[in-house]
A and B are shown apart, each in its own frame.
Chain A
Amino acid sequence: KAGVTQTPRYLIKTRGQQVTLSCSPISGHRSVSWYQQTPGQGLQFLFEYFSETQRNKGNFPGRFSGRQFSNSRSEMNVSTLELGDSALYLCATSPSGHGARFTEAFFGQGTRLTVV
């Protein structure tokens, strides 16, 4: 069974640009969550999607957005990039979703974003 796939693995962008990251869940997993990992703030929850709808959102500015497609694949977008957006972005997928018991979350390898 294939794991969670995140693309691309590495990105270098310039301040002010925008970026789109992709996450393909494990087959059958319908919930996708996104996290930002930085040395200073650690792992922070961005948002979670289930059935193409955002169900939960963390404390991030509106420049961070996401969406989920009918095949459960998800993308996150960061507009007007800032130096502080440099981080490892991780997605996690779960076989459970909204209204169901949340048990396990499986993470992808992450996308390393560097903003210069």
Chain B
Amino acid sequence: GEDVEQSLFLSVREGDSSVINCTYTDSSSTYLYWYKQEPGAGLQLLTYIFSNMDMKQDQRLTVLLNKKDKHLSLRIADTQTGDSAIYFCAESSGSARQLTFGSGTQLTVLP
């Protein structure tokens, strides 16, 4: 079945760039997503990329997709303390109305 993997923790200094990585196994993945979850809250959609794209940029966020290696990354430029949260990678195979999530990466931004 589908599987999405992420590293569990990442710490960066305020002002540095953060890079959160994700790998997936489903070759039929159509859309790949990044969600952010703050304590006690639901999931906030940050961005998503269609599988025929290599890169997508949205303000401080850059998503890179290596379809050959099934590797997705999220780069946050100029990371701020407000970016501290859990970041989830998710995939959808397009025809299924469901997302498969990774375990989430806890990003801690140090002052």
The segment from B12-20, B74-82, B90-98 that touches chain A is B90-98
0/1 interface trace, chain B 27-44, chain A, CB 8 Å (1 if under): 000110101000001111
B43 touches A103 (CB 8 A): no
- The interface residues of chain A lying within 8 Å CB-to-CB of B102 are 42
- The interface residues of chain A lying within 8 Å CB-to-CB of B103 are 42
- The interface residues of chain B lying within 8 Å CB-to-CB of A96 are 97
B88 at the interface (CB under 8 A from A): yes
Name which residue of chain A comes closest to B97, CB basis: A48
B45 touches A105 (CB 8 A): yes
A106 touches B45 (CB 8 A): yes
Whether A31 touches B97, Cβ cut-off 8 Å, given contacts A102-B92, A107-B43, A107-B45, is: yes
0/1 interface trace, chain B 43-64, chain A, CB 8 Å (1 if under): 1110010000000000000000
CA distance A98 to B94 in the complex (A): 10
Whether A56 touches B42, Cβ cut-off 8 Å, given contacts A42-B101, A103-B31, is: no
A45: which of B41, B43, B44, B98 is its contact (CB, 8 Å)? B98
CA distance A43 to B6 in the complex (A): 13
Name which of A31, A92, A98 has the most chain B CB atoms within 10 A of its CB. Answer: A92
- The interface residues of chain B lying within 8 Å CB-to-CB of A102 are 30-31, 92, 94-97
Whether A104 touches B48, Cβ cut-off 8 Å, given contacts A90-B42, A94-B97, A109-B41, is: yes
A-B contact pairs, 26 of them (CB 8 A): A31-B97, A33-B97, A33-B98, A35-B99, A42-B103, A43-B88, A43-B90, A43-B101, A45-B99, A45-B100, A50-B97, A56-B97, A90-B43, A92-B99, A96-B97, A98-B97, A102-B31, A102-B94, A102-B97, A103-B31, A104-B48, A105-B33, A107-B35, A107-B43, A107-B45, A109-B41
Which A positions have Cβ atoms within 8 angstroms of B? 4, 6, 31, 33, 35, 42-43, 45, 48, 50, 55-56, 58, 90, 92, 94, 96-98, 101-110
Which B positions have Cβ atoms within 8 angstroms of A? 30-31, 33, 35, 41-45, 48, 88, 90, 92, 94-104
Closest 5 pairs between A and B when the two form their complex, measured CB to CB: A43-B101, A107-B43, A48-B97, A107-B42, A45-B98
